[in-house]
């Protein structure tokens, strides 16, 4: 008897990478930050997280099955990542229905209407966050104060974020030295016992997740490092100029959504540039816009807007920044 | 030991799976019949110089070069020409072949069949080139470019280095590895012959670090030979590509669309160096070669010295036969080899290995949407953007494909290997290259 052979073009072997592995790798990387969020914001954080994830998966399923009538791919992990990122980007006391609206915007508007996985221009979770921020400014900026789980389920007290304190204080004519007693220490910023969205508060946990993704080669260093460096340099210059009017660079690094944005949002493969050179430019853009908004904008925080604005110019960056072509540096000229 | 050299851009590291690296070269018994394709080399097919009923001796010329870039073919056996007819070859198409029925093994008298290693190179450079040409030697690494053409640099160009390719970066394949171990002394003479023909003083043998025994052996042999240097390289696919190898050993980059001679290099495979030794010192034309037969389902992964024209079927049987679960038979390695449609396909000058793959191993991944992860761009050894090039090919925008340098693609498959979404990138790249190649040719015709 004769075997029937498979015929196909080379290569005949493929590596073991897969979209699923990448997505679940990102989920693992988000775990430390999520645990810190649950630790400080308790049951409210769990509620928002579950709602965001379930709603994101549900909307993706609904749209794929009944609107597009195509294959359902909710197990690929991408909607799960979007759901978790959405939860990380909102306060833990956000009303449940708003979380669901956020998931609908993220999955329905920002992702599926562009053609689904891989085709969206803007980061879905960020589109949802900004949509919620603009639509429900009060709920989106009433931040529960961090109370460790060990303190029991006390009534949630709300308070401003460090960036909010600075924005309002400076706006009222106060100086940084006058505001200093109201601000949390750097240690608190590092571990996350500060007010903010449930996934953004702990710089250490986010960096841990970033290192995991670097180790697993899910991301490269170019985007996070260029964002953080730009923020440090730009805010450092302004701070050096007038330390009473501009918060210092370490404060800029450790507060607000910068770490979350630089490590998990801006590095989204789908919405960031394809070459390392382009990624550096993208990161510098995000860093500059973030500080511009923080210092001179109407909002205390600007990371989300900065990333979305830079998402829009990614196609342009991709056109301008090509990989180094082989042969561009001959290394020798041979004469006969 | 310092940091091992390798090429600068991209690359991947598939599982090496060198199952047959410890299997010494065995001489495969001569089959009852051979089928010798007329199109075995890159360039024009050869023209037969025998006809049905002719008696031929082993090593006798049976076809002549059909153009400048073409090569002579010699009978791999002695016997009678049965017919010249089309038969299926490794491309899956029926192509003209010379069928010879075997009678004994009567070699042409001019061939020196002794084992004595002839180290004195008596021929002049011009005589060497013409001997290599008449012996039908082509690049045995797989590209099958006529060797003599490479030894005649175009006017105004001069070779400075001879680079010998002992990389064997394809997983599974071990034929070059075994030749380096078992025919090291002959290879050294072959290299000296090539150096003489090219008028170069320096030769570099590049070998990947997973063949330490070969590195040690050739380093030992090169000690007494001034100008020949062995360089140990980090294992990285596709280091056996000419441009990648030159970059790795000399840190020179062949410019886009140019040949290695542009940076003063000529690259030859170790197997080719051995064939050159046999042709020049022993007057033996190229009619047999070493072929690896391997695969996870193969009972006895082996390296055989095989006469050209032997069917793949016979090779596989000698290695323990084909199993029920074999789903794919590949001529060459798993990264760049061709999937065979039939086991009747004959071994040709460019056959470096036969790889058998089981059902699970040979299936492609399910294709998912591109998530723009850039892994194809990072893996491309030529610094191209495969994700973008396949989009131009899918949309039929071949002008853009050309502008984005699709013709630089060496079809190594690193992009497809690394893609997490299982996208058949190289299928589309090939399509794009064919279309762009056509439009370039048409443009040149109009100019002329």
Query: What is B1-31+120-359's CATH superfamily?
Result: NADH-ubiquinone oxidoreductase 51kDa subunit (3.40.50.11540)
Is the minimum CB–CB distance between A319 and chain B shorter than 8 Å?
A: no
Average of pLDDT values for B124-142?
93
Query: Confidence class of residue B324 from pLDDT cuts 50, 70 and 90?
Result: confident
User: Can you tell me whether residue B268 is helix, strand or coil?
Assistant: strand
Q: Which is it for the CA torsion A167, A169, A175, A178, positive or negative?
A: negative
A154–chain B Cβ distance below 8 A for any pair? no
Query: A272 to chain B: which residues are within 8 Å by CB?
Result: 372
Q: What percent of chain B has pLDDT over 70?
A: 100
Instruction: Tell me the chain B residues in contact with residue A3 when contact means C-beta distances shorter than 8 Å.
Output: 322, 324, 326-327
Nearest by CB to B377, from A274, A327, A334: name it.
Answer: A274
| Cβ pair A334:B160 closer than 8 A | yes
- Residues of B whose CB is below 8 A from A6: 327-328, 339, 362-363
Domain ranges of chain B: 1-31+120-359, 375-447
Asked if the C-beta of B434 comes within 8 angstroms of chain A's C-beta atoms, the answer is no
How does pLDDT run across A191-219, given as a tens digit for each residue? Answer: 888 888 999 999 999 999 999 999 999 99
Task: Identify from B250, B294, B383, B419 which residue to disrupt to test chain A contact, counting A C-beta atoms within 10 A and taking the largest count.
Answer: B383
- Minimal C-alpha gap between B186 and chain A (Å): 31
Cβ-Cβ contacts under 8 Å, A274 against chain B: 372, 374, 377, 385, 387-388
pLDDT of residue B377 exceeding 60: yes
- How near does any CA of chain A get to the CA of B91, in Å? 11
C-alpha–C-alpha distance, residues A318 and A11, integer Å: 27
CB atoms within 10 A of CB A152: 8
Q: How many Cβ atoms from other residues are within 10 Å of residue B179's Cβ? A: 27
Q: Chain B: give the shortest CA distance to residue A129, in Å.
A: 22
Q: Where are the beta strands (DSSP E) in B3-118?
A: 25-27, 33-37, 47-48, 55-56, 61-64, 73-74, 79-88, 94-102
Mean pLDDT across B82-98: 91
Q: How many domains does chain A have?
A: 1
Contact A274 B388 (CB under 8 A): yes
What's the domain range around A58? 19-139
What is the per-residue DSSP string for A191-251?
HT-SSS-TTTS-HHHHHHHHHHHHHTTSS-SHHHHHHHHHHHHHHHHHHHH-TTTS--HHH
Check whether A331 has a pLDDT greater than 70: no
Dist CA B94 CA B78 (whole Å): 24
- The answer for B 131-170 residues in CB contact with A (under 8 A) is 156-158, 160
- Spatial separation of the C-alpha atoms in residues A63 and B126, rounded to whole Å: 73
Residue ranges with strand state E in B308-448: 326-331, 338-339, 353-358
Whether the CB of A71 is below 8 Å from some CB of chain B: the reply is no
**B406: nearest CA partner in chain A:** A325
**How many angstroms separate the Cα of B402 from the Cα of each of A237, B80, B241?**
45, 50, 21
| CA–CA separation, A115 and A317 (whole Å) | 22
The answer to whether B341 contacts chain A (CB < 8 Å) is yes
Banded model confidence at residue A152, pLDDT cuts 50, 70, 90: low
Whether residue A134 is contained in a domain is answered as yes
Residue B431 has pLDDT above 60, yes or no: yes
Query: Are B168 and B238 spatial neighbours (Cβ–Cβ below 8 Å)?
Result: no
Residue B435 CB burial class (10 angstroms; 0-12, 13-18, ≥19): middle
Chain A touched by B32 (CB under 8 Å): no
Phi, psi of B398 (to 5 degrees): -75, -20
Residue range A282-300, pLDDT digits in tens: 999 999 999 999 999 988 8
Are A114 and A121 contacting, i.e. CB atoms less than 8 angstroms apart?
yes
List CB contacts (< 8 A) between A4 and chain B. 327
Nearest Cα of chain B lies from the Cα of A114 at a distance, in angstroms, of 13
**pLDDT tens digit sequence for B40-72:** 888 889 999 999 999 999 999 999 999 889 999
Flag whether residue B247 sits within 8 Å of chain A, measured between CB atoms: yes
d(CA B30, CA A153): 86
Whether A15 sits inside 8 A of B382 (CB atoms) is no
Decide if B67 contacts B343 (C-beta within 8 A).
no
How many angstroms separate the CA of residue A233 from the nearest CA in chain B?
28
Is-cis flag, bond preceding A11, omega within 30? yes
Residue pair B211/B231 in contact by the 8 Å Cβ criterion? no
pLDDT, tens digit (0-9, with 9 covering 90-100), for A13-46: 999 999 999 999 999 999 999 999 999 998 899 9
Average pLDDT over residues B95-101: 95
Is the CA virtual torsion B178, B183, B188, B193 positive or negative? negative
User: Is residue B403 within 8 angstroms of chain A, CB to CB?
Assistant: no
Give the residue-averaged pLDDT of A136-147.
Answer: 87
Residues B272/B135, Cβ–Cβ less than 8 Å: no
Could you tell me if B306 and B289 are in contact, meaning their C-beta atoms sit under 8 angstroms apart? yes
Inside any domain, residue A86: yes
Instruction: Report which DSSP code applies to A28.
Output: H
Is residue A236 a part of any domain in this protein?
no
Is the residue at A223 inside a domain? no
Which of A22, A73, A329 faces B253 most closely, judged by CB atoms?
Answer: A329
3-state secondary structure of B98: strand
Q: Is residue A67 part of a domain?
A: yes
A51 contact partners, CB below 8 Å, separation of at least 6? A87, A96, A99, A100, A103
**Cα-based distances in Å from A131 to A286, A297, A312:** 19, 18, 16
Q: CA-CA distance, A25 to A77, in Å (whole number)?
A: 10
Residue A93 is assigned to a structural domain of this protein = yes
Mean pLDDT to the nearest integer, A40-60: 94
Question: From the CA of B323, how many Å to the nearest CA of chain A?
Answer: 9
Q: Do A19 and B421 touch (CB under 8 A)?
A: yes
pLDDT-based confidence at A1, cuts 50/70/90? very low
Facing residue for A13 by CB, picked from B334, B387, B426: B334
User: Could you tell me which of B366, B295, B352 has the C-alpha nearest to residue B329?
Assistant: B295
**B chain contacts of residue A269, beta-carbon cutoff 8 Å:** 371-374
Q: How many CB atoms lie within 10 A of CB B296?
A: 15
Q: Which residues of B touch A119 (CB under 8 A)?
A: 369
CA A323 to chain centre: 26
Is residue A45 assigned to a domain?
yes
pLDDT-based confidence at residue A2 (cuts at 50, 70, 90): low
> From the candidates A7, A13, A114, A331, which should be mutated to test the interface with B, based on the most B CB atoms within 10 A?
A13
Does residue B326 sit at the A interface (CB-CB below 8 Å)?
A: yes
Per-residue pLDDT at A155 = 56
Q: Which residues in chain A have Cβ-Cβ distances shorter than 8 Å to B335?
A: 10-13
Is B293 in a helix, a strand, or coil? strand
Helices (H), ranges, chain A: 19-62, 78-88, 96-104, 124-135, 137-140, 162-171, 176-179, 186-191, 203-215, 222-241, 249-254, 258-260, 276-296, 303-320
Does A66 reside within a domain? yes
The interface predicted TM-score of the complex, written ipTM, equals 0.89
User: Furthest-apart CA pair in chain B: how many Å?
Assistant: 64
Which residues of chain B does A214 touch, with a Cβ-Cβ cutoff of 8 Å?
Answer: none
Which residue is closest to A327 within chain B, CA to CA? B255
**What is the distance between the alpha carbons of residues B112 and B103, in angstroms, rounded to a whole number?**
21
- CA B10 to chain centroid, in Å, comes to 22
Min distance A98 CA to chain B CA atoms (Å): 28
- pLDDT mean over B114-134: 93
- CB contacts under 8 A, A 111-150 vs B, are 116-119
Q: State whether residue B251 sits within 8 Å of chain A by CB.
A: yes
């Amino acid at each position: 008897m004769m075997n029937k052979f498979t015929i196909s073009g080379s290569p005949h072997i493929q590596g073991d990478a897969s979209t699923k592995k990448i997505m679940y790798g990102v989920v693992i990387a988000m775990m430390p930050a999520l645990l810190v969020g649950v630790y400080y914001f308790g049951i409210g954080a769990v509620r928002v997280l579950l709602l965001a994830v379930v709603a994101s998966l549900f909307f993706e399923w609904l749209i794929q099955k009944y609107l597009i009538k195509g294959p359902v791919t909710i197990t690929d992990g991408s909607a799960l990542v979007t759901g978790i990122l959405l939860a990380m980007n909102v306060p833990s006391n956000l009303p449940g229905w708003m979380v669901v609206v956020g998931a609908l915007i993220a999955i329905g508007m920002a992702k599926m209407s562009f053609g689904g996985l891989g085709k969206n221009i803007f980061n879905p979770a960020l589109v949802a966050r900004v949509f919620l921020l603009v639509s429900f400014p009060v709920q989106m900026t009433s931040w529960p104060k961090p109370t460790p789980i060990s303190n029991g389920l006390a009534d949630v007290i709300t308070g401003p974020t460090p960036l909010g304190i600075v924005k309002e204080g400076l706006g009222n004519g106060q100086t940084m030295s006058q505001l200093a007693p109201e601000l949390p220490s750097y240690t608190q910023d590092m571990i996350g016992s500060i007010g903010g969205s449930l996934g953004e508060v702990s710089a250490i946990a986010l960096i841990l997740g970033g290192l995991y993704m670097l180790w697993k080669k899910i991301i490269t260093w170019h985007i996070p490092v260029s964002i953080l460096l730009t923020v440090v340099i730009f805010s450092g210059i302004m701070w050096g100029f007038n330390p009473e009017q501009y918060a210092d660079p370490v404060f800029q690094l450790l507060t607000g959504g910068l770490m979350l944005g630089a490590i998990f949002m801006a590095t989204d493969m789908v919405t960031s540039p394809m070459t390392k050179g382009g990624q550096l430019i993208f990161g510098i853009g995000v860093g500059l816009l973030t500080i511009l908004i923080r210092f001179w904008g109407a909002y205390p925080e600007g990371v989300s807007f900065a990333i979305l604005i830079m998402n829009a110019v990614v196609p342009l960056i991709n056109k301008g920044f090509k990989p180094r072509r082989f042969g561009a540096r001959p290394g020798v000229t041979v004469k006969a | 030991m310092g940091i091992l050299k390798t090429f600068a851009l991209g690359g991947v590291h598939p599982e090496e799976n060198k199952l047959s690296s410890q299997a010494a070269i065995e001489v495969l018994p001569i089959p009852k019949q051979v089928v010798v394709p007329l199109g075995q080399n890159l360039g024009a097919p050869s023209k037969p110089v025998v006809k049905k009923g002719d008696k031929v001796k082993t090593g006798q010329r049976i076809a002549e070069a059909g153009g400048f870039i073409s090569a002579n073919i010699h009978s791999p056996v002695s016997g009678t020409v049965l017919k010249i007819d089309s038969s299926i070859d490794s491309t899956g198409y029926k192509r003209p072949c010379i069928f010879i029925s075997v009678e004994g093994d009567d070699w042409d008298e001019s061939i020196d069949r002794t084992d004595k290693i002839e180290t004195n190179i008596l021929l002049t450079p011009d005589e060497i080139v013409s001997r290599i040409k008449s012996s039908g030697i082509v690049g045995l690494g797989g590209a099958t470019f006529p060797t003599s053409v490479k030894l005649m640099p175009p006017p105004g160009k001069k070779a400075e280095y001879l680079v010998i390719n002992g990389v064997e970066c394809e997983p599974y394949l071990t034929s070059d590895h075994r030749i380096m171990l078992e025919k090291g002394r002959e290879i050294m003479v072959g290299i000296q012959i090539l150096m003489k023909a090219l008028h170069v003083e320096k030769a570099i043998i590049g070998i990947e670090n997973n063949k330490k025994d070969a590195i040690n052996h050739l380093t030992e042999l090169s000690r007494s030979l001034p100008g020949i240097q062995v360089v140990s390289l980090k294992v990285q696919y596709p280091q056996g590509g000419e441009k990648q190898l030159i970059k790795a050993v000399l840190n020179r980059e062949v410019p886009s669309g140019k040949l290695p001679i542009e940076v003063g290099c000529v690259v030859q495979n170790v197997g080719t160096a051995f064939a050159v030794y046999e042709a020049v010192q022993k007057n033996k034309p190229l009619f047999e070669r070493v072929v690896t037969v391997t695969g996870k389902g193969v009972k006895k992964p082996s390296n055989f010295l095989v006469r050209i024209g032997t069917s793949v079927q016979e090779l596989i049987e000698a290695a323990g036969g084909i199993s029920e679960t074999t789903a794919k038979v590949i001529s060459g390695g798993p990264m760049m080899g061709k999937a065979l449609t039939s086991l009747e396909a004959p071994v040709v000058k460019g056959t470096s290995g036969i790889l058998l793959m089981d059902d699970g191993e040979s299936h492609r991944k399910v294709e998912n949407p591109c998530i723009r992860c850039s892994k194809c761009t990072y893996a491309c050894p030529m610094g191209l953007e495969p994700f973008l090039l396949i989009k131009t090919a899918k949309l039929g925008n071949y002008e853009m494909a050309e502008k984005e340098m699709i013709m630089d693609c060496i079809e190594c498959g690193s992009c497809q290997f690394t893609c997490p979404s299982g996208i058949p990138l190289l299928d589309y790249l090939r399509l794009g290259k064919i279309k762009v190649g056509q439009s370039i040719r048409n443009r040149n015709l109009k100019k002329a």
